[in-house]
Amino acid sequence: GVILDFDGTLSPIVARPELARPAAGAREVLAALVERYRVVAILTGRTAADVAGRVRVGGLTYLGDHGLQRGTYSRRGRPARIVTTFRAGHESGFEPAERLATRVPDVLGHPAWLFVERKGPSVAFHVRQADDRAAARAAVVAAVAQVDEELPPHDLAHYRGRLVVDLRPQAAGGKAEAFAELLASVRPATVVAFGDDSSDADAFAILRAAREDGRCEGLAVGVTGPH
């Protein structure tokens, strides 16, 4: 099995998330891997449909929103025909996620640097375009706390990320849980995983544990900068 992150791994980091595209040659390599390996999956914080439309390789398993979504389409099919399913049990997250997506920009005064990503039962606020990213992220966190006071109790909680404030159902876990679920269902003999962020490091820990107790051979590859 080959399991990859998208932003910063398959795609260079860009200032505007909607402009991200796979690095040159990546599509051809992915298409070749799909022909050879039992599972080739992209495990990403983006929605499954969003990353499928950017990668445009059929036969892949697209695990969106850190594993909360799962989608695929045939090798010769079109990305627009991807069938995406949400992991059951988190339907209550849709309404508070939408309220946060609407109200947080209002509280912040709709700054030009803010990019809001709606993901169904989750929502992410990207701050990569800000001049002072640390200050922008802190401002988003404060705005989320303010809006939270207006909302009924909900299960959305902060998830790990460097240049994003990502709110998703706490019970859904993240990349670590999605990675463990994938290993359990596919049972690959060998796994190579690629990633660049703290959430990918969580998944790497699952791979190391599986390797150490003999469930699979494994290699985790940390991608840094443009390399």
Task: Specify which residues 82 forms β-bridges with.
Answer: none
| Amino acid at position 100, single letter | L
Phi/psi for 24 (5° steps) reads: -55, 130
Within the chain, what is the greatest distance between any pair of CA atoms? 53
What is d(CA 203, CA 44) in angstroms, rounded to the nearest whole number? 11
Give residues with Cβ within 8 angstroms of 148, minimum separation 6. Answer: 100
Is there a contact between 44 and 28 (Cβ–Cβ < 8 Å)? no
196 in active site: no
Count the neighbouring beta carbons within 10 Å of the beta carbon of residue 139. Answer: 22
Nearest 5°: the CA angle 50, 116, 175 is 55
Strands 115-118, 123-126: pairing kind:
antiparallel
Give residues with Cβ within 8 angstroms of 8, minimum separation 6. Answer: 195, 196, 197, 223
Q: Which of 5, 50, 196, 202 is catalytic?
A: 5
Which are the catalytic amino acids? 5
